[in-house]
């Protein structure tokens, strides 16, 4: 019996001791609660950071997973918007390019007093050496108006005019022939004339060169305006190879044309030079 009482007393003692320790700890923590919390947060900060990052990443992942339908719609919307913006950008770039082309063309034809109508190339028919361009009757385009590039390179002439479009027959067409001369910087020398004819498939050759003419490969050909359709001094091409045939009265030469319809998107119609 005595032993039981002693054990009971010992248990109470133990409980009081632990209870006192807990209360004392709580009092201590409350007295220094700012420092206690500060120390705790200082120690736990690195782990908290990891958990916060983990929480963010996980919730982002699950959010995107659950919001799949919304994302899908948003994606479709963004794609459409992106395409629309790309189209606008393309239009703007086209306008800028078009404006730059016009500036170059105006600069190159400054001394010629040409009235130029800028036009976009809509189609190219290599088999027939024709080109479809924007601008027609409504824009004042008429048949036989010359078509050039911004670099003042001759492309051809208008053969058919629609309300808003026009067909251009290129100088490489078998139906085309124009008077040219060798560009000569030395004014004391006599000019060499000839005819540039189309041989199809965007190629041309020079014919009717007098046998005594001093021409050589690399000579630049420009329009001479003798046929009356094209204005003078438009760039045509350069002599690539000479064909001499003693049996013929005239020489001919293969010409590398300057025009490049495959890589041209903008041309100019000279509207104030028309064969009457």
Partner 1 sequence: MRWFYYVITFLLFFVFSLLQSSFFPYFAIWGAVPNLVFCLFFTLIFFEPQQHYTDGFFAAIMAGLFADMFLPSYFGVSTGAFLVAYITYKIFGHFLRENQQKHLVFYFMGMFSLLFLVHQATLFLFSLALDFPFSFGITFLVSLVYGVAFAMVGFYIGKKIFARHFDNQLKLF
Extract the tokens encoding 45: 């900060």
> Which one, of 181, 273, 172, lies nearest residue 229 by Cα?
273
* E strand or H helix that includes residue 38: helix 33-66
- Please report how close the Cβ of residue 123 comes to partner 1 at its closest, in angstroms: 59
Residue from the set 51, 66, 99, 162 that interacts with partner 1 by CB under 8 A:
51
- Please report how close the Cβ of residue 5 comes to partner 1 at its closest, in angstroms: 20
What is the rounded distance in angstroms from the CA atom of residue 45 to the CA atom of residue 93?
Answer: 53
- Beta carbons of 144 and 274 less than 8 angstroms apart: yes
Residue from the set 35, 48, 103, 211 that interacts with partner 1 by CB under 8 A:
48
- Please report how close the Cβ of residue 266 comes to partner 1 at its closest, in angstroms: 57
DSSP strands (E only) in the chain: 116-125, 130-134, 146-148, 154-161, 165-170, 177-182, 193-200, 203-210, 220-223, 235-243, 250-257, 266-270
Q: Which of residues 166-185 bind partner 1 (CB under 8 A)?
A: none
What is the rounded distance in angstroms from the CA atom of residue 15 to the CA atom of residue 29?
Answer: 21
Whose structure tokens read 């251009």?
168
- Please report how close the Cβ of residue 16 comes to partner 1 at its closest, in angstroms: 13
- Please report how close the Cβ of residue 72 comes to partner 1 at its closest, in angstroms: 24
Cα 104 to chain center, whole Å? 18
Of 20 and 123, CB closest to partner 1: 20
Residue from the set 44, 84, 191, 244 that interacts with partner 1 by CB under 8 A:
44
Of 58 and 191, CB closest to partner 1: 58
Residue from the set 1, 5, 34, 47 that interacts with partner 1 by CB under 8 A:
47
Of 29 and 92, CB closest to partner 1: 29
- The site map against partner 1 for 9-38 (x = CB under 8 A) is ---------x---x---x--xx--x--xx-
**Size of interface with partner 1, in residues (CB under 8 A):** 21
Q: Beta strand 250-257 with 154-161: parallel, antiparallel or unpaired?
A: unpaired
59 binds partner 1, rule: CB under 8 A: yes
52 binds partner 1, rule: CB under 8 A: yes
- Please report how close the Cβ of residue 14 comes to partner 1 at its closest, in angstroms: 10
Strand partners, 198: 204
58 binds partner 1, rule: CB under 8 A: yes
Q: How far is CA 185 from CA 190, 232, 237, in A?
A: 11, 15, 16
What is the rounded distance in angstroms from the CA atom of residue 64 to the CA atom of residue 72?
Answer: 10
- Please report how close the Cβ of residue 56 comes to partner 1 at its closest, in angstroms: 6
What is the rounded distance in angstroms from the CA atom of residue 222 to the CA atom of residue 228?
Answer: 14
Of 27 and 85, CB closest to partner 1: 27
**Residue 249 DSSP SS3:** coil
Residues contributing to the site for partner 1 (CB under 8 A): 18, 22, 26, 29-30, 33, 36-37, 40-41, 44, 47-49, 51-52, 54-56, 58-59
């Amino acid at each position: 019996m005595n032993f039981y009482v002693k054990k009971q007393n010992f248990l109470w003692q133990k409980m009081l001791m632990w209870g006192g320790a807990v209360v004392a700890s709580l009092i201590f923590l409350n007295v220094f609660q700012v420092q206690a919390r500060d120390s705790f947060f200082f120690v736990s900060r690195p782990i908290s950071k990891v958990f916060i990052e983990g929480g963010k990443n996980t919730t982002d992942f699950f959010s995107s997973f659950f919001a799949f339908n919304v994302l899908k719609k948003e994606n479709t919307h963004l794609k459409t918007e992106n395409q629309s913006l790309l189209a606008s950008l393309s239009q703007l770039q086209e306008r800028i390019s078009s404006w730059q082309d016009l500036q170059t063309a105006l600069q190159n034809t400054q001394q010629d007093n040409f009235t130029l109508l800028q036009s976009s190339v809509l189609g190219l028919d290599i088999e027939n050496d024709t080109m479809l361009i924007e601008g027609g009757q409504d824009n004042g385009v008429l048949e036989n108006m010359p078509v050039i590039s911004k670099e003042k390179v001759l492309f051809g002439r208008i053969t058919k005019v629609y309300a808003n479009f026009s067909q251009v027959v290129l100088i490489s067409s078998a139906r085309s022939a124009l008077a040219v001369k060798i560009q000569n910087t030395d004014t004391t020398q006599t000019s060499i004339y000839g005819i540039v004819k189309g041989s199809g498939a965007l190629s041309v050759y020079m014919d009717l060169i007098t046998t005594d003419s001093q021409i050589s490969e690399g000579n630049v050909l420009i329009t001479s305006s003798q046929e009356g359709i094209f204005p003078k001094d438009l760039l045509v091409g350069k002599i690539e190879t000479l064909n001499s045939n003693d049996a013929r009265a005239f020489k001919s030469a293969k010409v590398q044309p300057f025009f490049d319809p495959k890589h041209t998107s903008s041309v100019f119609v000279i509207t104030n030079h028309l064969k009457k």
